[in-house]
Amino acid sequence: MSKLRPQKEYEKTWAFRFFRWLSGSKDPYVGEVEMKPQRETIVPESTILERMNESQMIRDKVYDIEHNKGLSFFHKVYVASAILFCVVLVGLLLYTVSYLPKTGSADRPVNNEVSERYIESGLQETGAVNIVSGMILTYRAFDTFGETNVLFIATCCVMILLMVDDAVLKKQEAQNDRRFEPKNDTILQGTAFVLCPIIFIFGIYVVLNGHLSPGGGFSGGAILGAGLILYVSAYGFKRTQKFFNEQIYKVAKITALCMYGIIGSYFYITGANGIENHIPLGTPGHILSSGIILPINVCVGLEVACTMYAFYALFRRGGL
């Protein structure tokens, strides 16, 4: 069993000096090398002016295009090369375009069996009057699911980078929740009071009507997100959180993505194995029709609206 040494005796040992050097607590030069404190160098004003004058003379001499032959030659070659490159590039593009098939010709690459299937059998197979919605949410539903996941991952990344602790948010709210906007802007609040209900109703209409006319989850969700941003800009987060807080945001966003995945997986599995799909297509033209398109539009709309609002809220104050 080792014996405990006194501190003064231990400080004389090699181990003490080694570990002190290893931890950096002792400067190896102090007391070992003759050192003098550095003095601030004072440059006379005349020297500074002389150096500035010399620097300006050098710049004038180097960049003097009229008298510097080398620089003048380089400038001419540079301009000529840039013009020649642009002319050659435009020529190549025009030459390539000249070999493209004419508009409406039967041998165009877009006129194939895929687009023909969308146009001729889309209404019968998807039940959607809007061919675009029928295409991206049934035939290419897997691609659209990937795009929805991109929105979800983007929001998670922004949260990781910008979201602050709840204690900091409460402190900010105690000081002034609306320090970045006027506290009582009558014009903004009056405009929001009139426009927000219209924006929300129109956004819901675009989402629910996406399989019948131009629109759908992406465009309708963007409208709903814009309405939320206008409302929170006018009335502040405290009032917005009465009907849309962080808990509701998480439930809506995660539920929408999971529901899309469940509905889409059922559709992929049945289609890939030739199994009959039991989701009814309904009557084309009716609001309750188009099979999986209507619920997927709702899921995508919620996802887009939550993403837009989250980006604004996180960049504005670091929380929802």
Mean pLDDT per 10-residue interval, the chain, length 320 residues: 68 77 68 67 84 79 70 86 97 91 73 81 86 87 89 89 73 57 75 94 94 90 94 87 89 92 88 80 86 91 93 80
pLDDT at 1: 47
Nearest to 230 by CA among 205, 193, 203: 193
The CA-based angle 279-272-215, given to 5 degrees, is: 50
pLDDT at 123: 86
pLDDT at 8: 77
pLDDT at 184: 67
Nearest to 147 by CA among 84, 80, 73, 221: 221
Contact by Cβ (8 Å): 218, 224: no
- Which residue type occupies 186? T
Contact by Cβ (8 Å): 58, 64: no
Rounded to the nearest angstrom, the gap between the alpha carbon of residue 32 and the centroid of all alpha carbons in its chain is 57
Nearest to 145 by CA among 33, 37, 266, 38: 266
